[in-house]
Structure 1
Amino acid sequence: MLKDSTATACFSTDDVAKAKEFYAGTLGVPILMEQEGALALQFANGTTAFIYLKEDHVPAAHTVLILTGADVEAEVADLKSRGVVFADLPYTDDDGIAREDNMPKTAWFQDPAGNWVAVGENFA
């Protein structure tokens, strides 16, 4: 049943080549599949993200992808060294990390299409 399924994030872009360059090149995420107008990214434990070309793409106003790990500070520092710019939001500190008592540490950035991506501690 669905409780045993893997999940795939799915969101649009206005330029698949730029998405590939950013996700595979800058972030270092392996490409699982590439076809005209789309690509799929491979993450740990069978999780994936499918990115597709949409001619009238409008950037998502919400987080479309959360990349989880154990050490948000280290991930943010590493991504900054690769040129990723983290959002300066009302609830983030000077490092770009939200450190609220009732939620895991999380930091946000936008991909080349303007979609919101987060790096956060494990949410489990």
Structure 2
Amino acid sequence: MLGDSTAMACFSTNDIEKAKEFYGGTLGIAVSMEEDDSLVLDFAGDTHVLVYLKEDHVPASHTVLLLSVADVEAEAADLKARGITLADLPYTDADGIARDESMPPTAWFQDPAGNWVAVGQLPS
């Protein structure tokens, strides 16, 4: 049954080298496989995400990657220290964090291809 299978999420980029530099270098995520047209990001729990080159890439208008963190305030501060600009959205505060009671504390930013990435203090 499909519920017993493993899965890999994926999203596109317009520049594999910039994606590798951003996810692997700036964010410090392990990159296990790199080809001319794709790379694989490795996360805890044997979780992987494929980022692939798409010549006619259009940035996603939704969150393509949500990273669960223990302390969203500390992570937001660390992201800013790494030069990442957190999104200023109608529901985020001066620290760039959404603190609405309808969702866990979350902060968004965009990767070099314009895709939305978030860090959130998700319930366990």
Scaled by the length of structure 1, what TM-score is found? 0.95
Q: Distance in 2 between matches of 1:123 and 1:13?
A: 30
What displacement does 1:5 show?
Answer: 4.0
Report the equivalent of 1:37: 37
Unaligned runs of 5+ in 1: none
Residues 42 and 48 in structure 1, CA contact (< 8 A), matched pair in contact too: yes
What displacement does 1:6 show?
Answer: 4.0
What displacement does 1:123 show?
Answer: 4.2
What displacement does 1:29 show?
Answer: 0.2
Give runs of aligned pairs for residues 66-77 of structure 1, distance below 5 A. Answer: 66-77=66-77
Runs of 4+ aligned structure 1 residues displaced above 4 Å come to: none
Give 1:7's aligned amino acid. A
In structure 2, relative to structure 1, the CA distance for the partners of 1:36 and 1:75 (3 Å cut) is: same
RMSD: 1.2
Deviations 1:80-124 (A, max 9, x none): 100111000000000000001121100000000000000001244
In structure 2, relative to structure 1, the CA distance for the partners of 1:99 and 1:13 (3 Å cut) is: same
Unaligned runs of 5+ in 2: none
Residue identity over aligned pairs, in percent, reads 68
Residues 6 and 47 in structure 1, CA contact (< 8 A), matched pair in contact too: no
Corresponding pairs, count: 124
What displacement does 1:2 show?
Answer: 3.8
Report the equivalent of 1:18: 18
In structure 2, relative to structure 1, the CA distance for the partners of 1:13 and 1:67 (3 Å cut) is: same
Deviations 1:48-83 (A, max 9, x none): 110000000000000000011110001111111001
